């Protein structure tokens, strides 16, 4: 079905390119003396975006300085495309008239149908149609190469941009690690450490003849173990390496104070770094929902889309999550360190949706 639709799309794209080539040429001729004016550059940008949309070409960070030159350079190619489309229309029209006349037993241009003549015309028509289709494909390919030639960002500029992105990403990772260390220290100090102090005091009092405190001593010890296990899981879940992401997320659901529905459909285990990032995104999102959103249900969905692992966490809480909060900022930085994409949608009233796309290749 896609291949059937690609033929008319190609003809339409090349025919539209012939029209826009003439429009672009007229604009360049009129606007060239005023090329530095903002209004002219804005119109050139719109025409360029139209051409990129027609060619289904995405050029992030394109070179805006080359837009006028591109519009001028593509004029001959656009006109060539118009000629190829015109020849196709003429050829199909002639073939239709020939088939109509011969189908009714009438002569076409003084020629009556005979077996050799029908074979000759059929073969010639197929060859001409093949050449015309090749011409259409060649025109589109040439237009795409022209767009890349004039509009693609300078390689050095792209390299500098990539270096800047990596610098910011590295700084973010360092900040995230420091923030995580501070949070672990706080959890240990305010939770487990206080629990162990109380445990020590109870043990001392029990030794001095208060055996009834042994039950409290046992409860405090059990609670300290639970809190210590929680801190350890926040550092790195021990079951992730052994059991995989699905089992680790099931553990998140079991420990969560709100209901959590987990769907993890991965054809194979992703790389360890991706698996860990996916786990922490889901775990932190569930923690935030339980603490801040008054949610009653959190849905975790993990799927493979092409070369990406997509983690989507949605809760039915009150919304209004702050993307600049420490936890969410750390998640965004963790995802960015893997060249992934992190998005947060949390309008007032909810729902809150956190989505991370993590590359696996």
- List, for residues 238-259, the tens digit of each pLDDT value: 667 778 888 888 888 888 889 9
Q: What's the DSSP call for residue 257? A: S
Q: Measure the CA–CA gap between 94 and 258, rounded to whole angstroms.
A: 72
For residue 139, which of 82, 192, 66 has the smallest C-alpha distance? 82
Token duo for residue 350: 């909810």
What's the average model confidence in pLDDT over 309-325? 85
The pLDDT value given to residue 357: 93
Residue 37 CB neighbour total at 10 angstroms:
11
- List, for residues 101-139, the tens digit of each pLDDT value: 888 877 877 778 788 888 888 898 889 888 888 999 999
- List, for residues 48-81, the tens digit of each pLDDT value: 888 888 888 887 777 777 888 888 888 999 999 9
Task: Report angle CA 133, 15, 4 to the nearest 5 degrees.
Answer: 50
Which helix (H) or strand (E) segment holds residue 358: the answer is strand 352-359
| pLDDT band, residue 1 (cuts 50/70/90) | very low
What's the average model confidence in pLDDT over 351-359? 91
CB-neighbour burial class of residue 294 (10 A; exposed 0-12, middle 13-18, buried 19+): middle
pTM of the model: 0.48
- List, for residues 4-35, the tens digit of each pLDDT value: 457 788 888 888 888 998 888 898 888 888 87
Q: Are 81 and 18 in contact (CB under 8 A)?
A: yes
The CA–CA distances, whole Å, from 68 to 53, 73, 275 equal: 17, 9, 46
Please give the full DSSP string across 272-299, using - where no structure is assigned.
HHHHHHHHHHHHHHHHHHHHHS--SEEE
Torsion of CA 297, 303, 308, 310, to 10 degrees: -10
- What is the phi/psi pair of residue 236, to 5°? -165, 125
The CA–CA distances, whole Å, from 312 to 145, 159, 344 equal: 37, 31, 10
Q: Locate the DSSP E strands across 1-66.
A: none
- List, for residues 258-277, the tens digit of each pLDDT value: 999 999 988 888 888 888 88
For residue 92, which of 126, 139, 135, 138 has the smallest C-alpha distance? 126
Q: Are 352 and 301 in contact (CB under 8 A)?
A: no
């Amino acid at each position: 079905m896609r291949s059937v639709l690609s033929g008319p799309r190609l003809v339409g794209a090349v025919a539209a390119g012939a029209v826009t080539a003439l429009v672009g040429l007229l604009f360049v001729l009129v606007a060239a003396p005023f090329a530095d004016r903002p209004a002219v550059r804005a119109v050139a940008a719109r025409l360029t975006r139209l051409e990129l949309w027609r060619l289904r070409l995405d050029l992030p960070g394109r070179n805006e300085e080359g837009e006028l030159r591109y519009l001028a350079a593509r004029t001959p190619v656009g006109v060539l495309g118009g000629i190829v489309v015109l020849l196709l229309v003429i050829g199909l029209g002639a073939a239709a008239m020939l088939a109509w006349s011969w189908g009714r037993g009438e002569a076409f241009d003084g020629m009556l149908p005979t077996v050799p003549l029908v074979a000759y015309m059929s073969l010639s028509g197929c060859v001409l149609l093949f050449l015309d289709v090749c011409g259409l494909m060649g025109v589109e390919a040439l237009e795409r190469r022209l767009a890349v030639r004039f509009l693609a960002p300078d390689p050095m500029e792209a390299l500098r941009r990539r270096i800047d992105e990596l610098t910011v990403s590295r700084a973010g990772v360092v900040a995230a690690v420091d923030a995580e260390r501070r949070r672990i220290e706080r959890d240990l100090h305010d939770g487990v450490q206080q629990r162990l102090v109380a445990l020590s005091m109870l043990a001392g009092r029990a030794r001095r003849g208060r055996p009834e405190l042994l039950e409290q001593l046992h409860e405090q010890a059990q609670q300290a173990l639970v809190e210590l296990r929680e801190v350890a899981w926040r550092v790195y879940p021990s079951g992730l390496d052994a059991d995989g992401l699905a089992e680790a997320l099931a553990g998140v659901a079991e420990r969560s104070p709100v209901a959590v529905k987990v769907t993890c459909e991965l054809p194979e285990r992703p790389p360890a770094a991706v698996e860990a990032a996916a786990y922490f995104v889901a775990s932190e999102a569930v923690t935030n929902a339980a603490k801040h959103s008054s949610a009653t249900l959190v849905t975790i969905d993990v799927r493979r889309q092409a070369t990406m692992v997509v983690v989507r966490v949605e809760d039915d809480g009150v919304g209004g999550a702050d993307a600049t909060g420490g936890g969410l900022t750390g998640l965004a930085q963790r995802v960015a360190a893997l060249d992934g994409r992190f998005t947060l949608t949390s309008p007032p009233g909810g729902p809150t949706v956190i989505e991370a796309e993590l590359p696996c290749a």
